[in-house]
Chains A and B, each alone.
Chain A
């Protein structure tokens, strides 16, 4: 128990540090970066809940983020703007304008509901088959977003979403996500799901219900994704379906794989490290372009670096930076070792 509390304290402490750092620096850009980081925490922790505990790589996560973003957008765009922003919207919703604080939760529930329905048959699959179907699910969700113009305005940019996500709201959500991910991992379901990750045959022989355990985790994971997507939508205020596709998928996967999918600590570290490196590179890229060192604009350094970092981690530390033990556990073990000496 102590080690779980220790982990919780350290990880939430990191979020608090990020908030304080961004606030005291009084640079607007830093505050934006920190808010984005907290939203990424919600999304990556959501993916960790499923992927880390079940051991199944899921590409569909960002699709559920999109469902959340569009759900909350549709319910909160001011009535007078709806005619322009969503010209094809169903008349039932045309006069509807709800508080974003409520719709962010609804967004999570809608994403979870969709996940519950579409994933039920998929959870029987393991290994490569499961990964490929999750990728197919991402493509399906993306295609629906592109063409369901009544709700998403089709491939065009949807605008007019009220801006409610600030640093504090995002950080609060991130802290809750950390607590929820840890609680799930250490719960009855979490422990049983992890046995199916390590050895599916042995888990079945103990009496674990493999598809059901995966299903529950997948739904929970989509709940995080829906809430994270809605938070992101109310932060960025205008987006199109391409925001929820391959590029975003690989950023989120990259963060989790580099940090270590098996632990909540890994998910948090992954987001922090990748964000810091990304922003550093982006700044350097900007400086290089400003100084006009090259005849052409330099672009894509961040993506290349993420790809190389992922490859390096997969070669040298296949379980990620923090593979099996949470940070609280690591600290307590070190303290015990020191006592013995």
Chain B
């Protein structure tokens, strides 16, 4: 683990007594794609929320390079170069696609002209340029996802956390997304963390995989070792507690 990685160290999150995350650690290197998988309710989204300051930590720390993120507000964390997408797409629906993307650059402190140019360029890469003036609320689900990723990328993040980017996409859309995401880390020297239920996508895309179950890390390592790990197989097949003990 290098000193400029995104490091989540030993964090815990509690929701009124319920432990959603229990001493979880994780890191993402710049230029790397980490897949975060696990059954429903295992704490994957909570981990992203905790990293970006949307939910408070009850223990542990988060750092990105030399920056301490623990206890900062989502706004401050965003300004330090951590971008994210949401499990349920959150676009600015009454604004145009161009404005959605532009706003992200503006929020990073860029000027009006610069932001517009950056947005145009990003929309071009995402093949959304000819629809730039459509309202974001009128798009179909797959396109909304792409706009959300474009919006995150235009902020030039050091780390990008994507919460189920392929959810609701059909096969060809997923394929397109996969090609796009695969080159991102190298092209933009950013660290990418992806949560998804689409196992083939995770297996093809990620350099490393970490598996959560009931708020704890049960396995991590390269794709092939995780796939055959008995604890992972068990968590995914949903074997009961009695069998487990």
Contacts and interface: CB of A to CB of B under 8 A. Distances in A.
Given A201-B54, A206-B151, A188 B94 contact: no
B196 to A, nearest CB: 19
Interface stretch (B13-21, B98-106, B235-243): B98-106
20 contacts: A188-B112, A194-B92, A195-B107, A197-B92, A198-B92, A198-B93, A198-B95, A199-B90, A201-B74, A202-B86, A203-B103, A203-B107, A204-B73, A205-B52, A205-B78, A207-B78, A208-B103, A208-B107, A210-B75, A324-B94
B54 A205 contact: yes
Interface string B38-70: 000000000000001010000000000000000
A206 B104 contact: yes
A192 interface: yes
Interface in A174-233: 187-188, 191-192, 194-195, 197-199, 201-210
Given A188-B106, A191-B103, A207-B108, A202 B73 contact: no
A195 B52 contact: no
B91 A202 contact: yes
Contacts of B135: 324
A53 B83 CA distance: 24
- A-B pairs with lowest CB-CB distance, top 10: A207-B78, A198-B92, A202-B90, A207-B107, A206-B107, A204-B74, A195-B103, A207-B79, A199-B90, A208-B107
Contacts of A63: none
Contacts of B95: 191, 194-195, 198
Interface in B76-131: 78-79, 83-84, 86, 90-95, 99-100, 102-104, 106-108, 111-112, 115
Contacts of A333: 133
A65 B135 CA distance: 34
A135 B90 CA distance: 30
Contacts, number: 82
A266 interface: no
Interface residues of B, number: 31
B155 interface: yes
A66 interface: no
Contacts of A187: 112
Contacts of B112: 187-188
A262 interface: yes
A66 to B, nearest CB: 32
A202 B75 contact: no
A327 to B, nearest CB: 15
Contacts of A319: 94
Interface in B144-158: 151, 155
Contacts of B99: 191, 194
B84 A205 contact: yes
Contacts of B92: 194-195, 197-199, 202-203
A51 to B, nearest CB: 14
Contacts of A209: 75
Interface residues of A, number: 25
A74 B93 CA distance: 46
A296 B199 CA distance: 78
B-side binding surface: helix, strand, loop or mixed? mixed
Contacts of A262: 94
Contacts of B111: 188
A198 B84 CA distance: 17
Contacts of B93: 198-199
A54 B195 CA distance: 32
A177 B93 CA distance: 27
Nearest to B73: A204
Nearest to B110: A188
Interface in A291-341: 319, 323-324, 329, 333
Given A205-B84, A207-B75, A207-B155, A197 B106 contact: no
Given A201-B90, A204-B78, 16 more contacts: A188-B111, A188-B115, A191-B95, A191-B102, A191-B106, A192-B107, A195-B107, A199-B91, A204-B75, A205-B52, A205-B84, A206-B78, A206-B107, A206-B108, A329-B133, A333-B133
Contacts of A191: 95, 99, 102-103, 106
A192 B104 CA distance: 8
A194 B75 contact: no
Given A192-B103, A194-B99, A206 B155 contact: yes
A82 to B, nearest CB: 48
A52 to B, nearest CB: 10
B94 A198 contact: yes
Nearest to A205: B74
A183 to B, nearest CB: 11
Nearest to B112: A188
A207 B103 CA distance: 10
Contacts of B102: 191
A329 B133 CA distance: 10
Contacts of B94: 194, 197-198, 262, 319, 323-324
Contacts of A199: 90-93
Interface string A67-102: 000000000000000000000000000000000000
